[in-house]
Amino acid sequence: VTTPPGRIPPGWTPEGFTEEELENAKVISTSKEKSRSRNSQWNAPRYCCRCSQFKPPRAHHCSECNTCTPKMDHHCPWINNCVGNDNHKLFFVFLFWGITGIGYTMAVYAVKIVLMFYSIYDGEPRYLTAVQGVIITVNMVILCPLVLGMLSLFFWQQGLALSNTTTIEFHIKRYAQAQARKEDKKYQWPYDFGPPKNLILFFGEKSSHWLCPVLPDNLGDGINFPVAFEPEPLSYSSDEETETSDSYQPEDEILDV
């Protein structure tokens, strides 16, 4: 969980765009048409006015780290680190083994309590000592809500891995799908290759290493990502521009809550 999420090379500039398009991206980054442009042209160049440099597809600015993070999922205050391209899989593995360890500890305490009640039922009571009772009670009070929170986050991250999406992109997809429905279109996420391929892209080619705390063997550079297809551009009315801009500004600052 201390592994950095990756970084964008200083001075990086997207290729395949004219100087006019790049300059237009800089203007859009400070205007109310920011969200409209990003959604109508999914692969358009994006400029971060806070970092004063271009950011690759799927990268977002983290206000806590004060930098743009490649393929950013969220900033997690519990590990004091951003979850992004280089450590997303490691964060998932951390959740899995954390839940496993907590579950094992709770199971041991549960067995201890069951054995105590069974001994009472059997007529040869073996009560817990005061110290044992306090330790078990305090740990169960702390571990129960903790494991529930980690389980919810684990299953959330599992769903993201199956669709090759991040937490920020989930909200982008939801908004784009709503816009597509208004135009009687069907929006599909361009990075979604289907669950089997998505899991390989997330965990790596070697399935035996999926739950090991090692980097995926197919880890990309955080700049270029394989695309299943190009989505159809969406149009927006002028009345929607301010609303979309307001709703999308927080996406670069999403925190783990």
In this structure, the number of other CB atoms found within 10 A of the CB of residue 189 comes to: 20
| From 62, 68, 76, 82, active-site residue | 76
In this structure, the number of other CB atoms found within 10 A of the CB of residue 23 comes to: 13
For tokens 């500890």, what's the residue? Answer: 105
65 catalytic? Reply is: no
User: How is residue 202 written in tokens?
Assistant: 């997330």
DSSP secondary structure letters along 112-167: HHHHHHHHHHTT---PPPHHHHHHHHHHHHHHHHHHHHHHHHHHHHHHHHHHT--H
Return d(Cα 66, Cα 253) in angstroms, integer: 10
Assess contact for 253 and 44: CB atoms under 8 A: no
Return d(Cα 121, Cα 114) in angstroms, integer: 10
Show which residues are catalytic. Answer: 76
